[in-house]
Amino acid sequence: MSAEGIRPAIVSGFKVAEAIDRVLGGADDAKEPYTQSIAQEWNTHMIWASRLARAFYQFTGAAYRAGVKLPMTTQLMSKILCGELRYADIANRALKKLMPF
């Protein structure tokens, strides 16, 4: 839907390059920091992405009207792709609008 897989692939590529650089520099433990970094940065992010995708596909009519038709959606997705926003930020915004307290 959003080509969101591109950003994680690029970030992962940079992190792999850093790990390779560490190995070439003589480090013995390059795999573990890479694995931990990816897990810390992406696990929570992808959980929220999955939740939002499920909501989108479960309520397609409302999601289309509220998400796809609004120009703001393109801006938000651009910010996600640039790493300025995370899916959790989008979910929190939506929850505040749905249930303001």
pLDDT in tens, 7-25: 788 888 998 999 999 999 9
Stretch 63-89: mean pLDDT:
79
Q: Is residue 66 part of a domain?
A: yes
Helix and strand totals (H; E) in the chain: 5, 0
Compute the distance between CA of residue 76 and CA of residue 90 in angstroms, rounded to an integer. Answer: 8
Q: Is residue 94 part of a domain?
A: yes
Domain of residue 12: give its range: 6-98
Q: Is residue 1 part of a domain?
A: no
Stretch 32-50: mean pLDDT:
82
Q: What is the pLDDT of residue 21?
A: 93
Q: Is residue 29 part of a domain?
A: yes
Q: What is the pLDDT of residue 46?
A: 79
Number of domains in the chain: 1
Q: What is the pLDDT of residue 39?
A: 86
Name the percent of the chain lying above pLDDT 90.
10
Q: Is residue 40 part of a domain?
A: yes
Q: Is residue 32 part of a domain?
A: yes
Q: Is residue 27 part of a domain?
A: yes
Q: Is residue 58 part of a domain?
A: yes
Three-state SS at 64: helix
For residue 87, pLDDT over 70 is answered with yes
Q: What is the pLDDT of residue 2?
A: 59
Given CA atoms 47, 51, 63, 86 in this order, what sign does their dihedral have? negative
CB-based contact 80:67 (threshold 8 Å): no
Report the mean per-residue pLDDT for the chain.
81
